[in-house]
Amino acid sequence: MSKIAVHLGQTLTFQGNPMVQGIDSVSHTTRGALAVQDGRVLARGTAEDLQHAYPDALCYDHGAALLLPGFVDAHVHYPQTAMIASWGKRLIDWLNTYTFPEEMRFGDPDYAADIANRYLDLALANGTTTMCSYCTSHPESVTAYFTAAEQRGMRVLGGKTCMDRNAPDGLCDSVQSAYEDSKALLTQWQGRGRASYVITPRFAPTSSPDQLSALGALWAEHPDCLMQTHLSEQPDEIAWVKTLFPDARDYLDIYETHGLLGANGLYGHAIHLEPRERDRLREVGAAVVHCPTSNTFIGSGLFDMAGLVEQGQRIGLATDTGGGSSFSMLRTMAAAYEVAQLRGVALHPSALLWLATEGSARALRIADRVGTLAPGTEADFITLDLASTPAIAQRSARARDIWEAVFPTIMMGDDRAVQGVWVMGERRV
């Protein structure tokens, strides 16, 4: 067994979802501590208690920094790293102009490996230790992603993006290859180290009914796996979907008809939902994933956070790299706050931090392993400097409580606020 390490700093402990139960469900310890051994959280409590309990431990004093779980990004496209912040397109034109040409390069294993390594380094620099990624239709892109994560000891989720129509020939697979490639990759990577395979039809317009059914059959064979796709991102996308599936009651009905609706389903964006779709998502216990910087960047619309929370939906938060305009979950929290404000709701800082950690981990069904820093969980954590720039420092200096202290970092912080990043107890940044 390795030597125990005790990390000192400010801590937050969530006893529930603050969006539902309020800030009384969160406790703040000014002088808190986290004890780590062999890659797992051994204990958490006050600095005094843990230093007394483990007198021979290595002690790391992070001062006034805030100790948090590593951020969990519930929806990314790592192959879009090099084309992030591409100008001026709506969803369909954006895919055809930027995304598909870039993704065609990922049949080259060296290129895929280069981008996978670059993306994970950028994510870690911004305090993100776990993400769920779409790869491309090339198996090489999946291998590159999981291999790069394995080298860093990271817990990641992802899968081969399947599509057999309405995309360039160089990206399209087939009904058979989508099923066979996904099954082979699932067999290779699911449960290997800290990897989880996710069955991944891109979205209804780029998969034929037969391909959707094949992937639904694969999911039925492996129901413990997650399945990720996109849902109701833009009105013109929804109109296109209706022409492709004229017999469907709505967008979600297409997935349900083909076996792609379930408790382990992840539905990205989910902005323009019909009442029936909301009801079905809640009934089956599926998760929707809010991608605020992406939704504003390509003009998709305003996610109904308050309404979906009130209905009891499971919600994750995500950068949506590279439709999103930042690798930072801090910037993503800020955008979520701004989107909610446009809908007349001010999300509390506790809700934003919960969404970026435990909330997203719950959406991905991995909150028993990451996102909470509960004893026994994997020791992925960060230290957040709440005075990382002069502008943030002068505002946080006036704070009357932890929430006023952390909110300027949420709204104005970037990678400079991420003082340190630990993965399984090992420092990575």
Q: What are 3-53's pLDDT values in tens digits?
A: 999 999 999 999 999 999 999 999 999 999 999 999 999 999 999 999 999
Task: Write phi, then psi, for 61 (nearest 5 degrees).
Answer: -100, 110
Instruction: Give Cα 143 to chain centroid, integer Å.
Output: 20
- Reduced to 3 states (helix: H, G, I; strand: E, B; else coil), residue 178 is helix
Q: Please state, in angstroms and rounded to a whole number, the distance separating the CA atoms of residues 296 and 221.
A: 37
Task: Write phi, then psi, for 321 (nearest 5 degrees).
Answer: -50, 130
* pLDDT per residue as tens digits for the range 343-371: 999 999 999 999 999 999 999 999 999 99
Which residue numbers in the chain have pLDDT < 70? Answer: none
Task: Write phi, then psi, for 74 (nearest 5 degrees).
Answer: -85, 0
pLDDT of residue 92: 86
pTM: 0.98
Residue 204 token pair: 């209804």
Cβ(315)–Cβ(266) below 8 Å:
no
Q: Please state, in angstroms and rounded to a whole number, the distance separating the CA atoms of residues 230 and 234.
A: 11
CB neighbours of residue 62 within 10 Å: 18
Residue 23 token pair: 């800030």
pLDDT of residue 88: 77
pLDDT of residue 91: 84
Q: Please state, in angstroms and rounded to a whole number, the distance separating the CA atoms of residues 86 and 82.
A: 9
pLDDT of residue 76: 98
What b/e string do you get for 307-322 counting C-beta neighbours within 10 Å, with b at 16 or more? ebbeeebbbbbbbbbb
All structural domains of the chain: 5-70+373-427 (2.30.40.10), 71-363 (3.20.20.140)
pLDDT of residue 177: 98
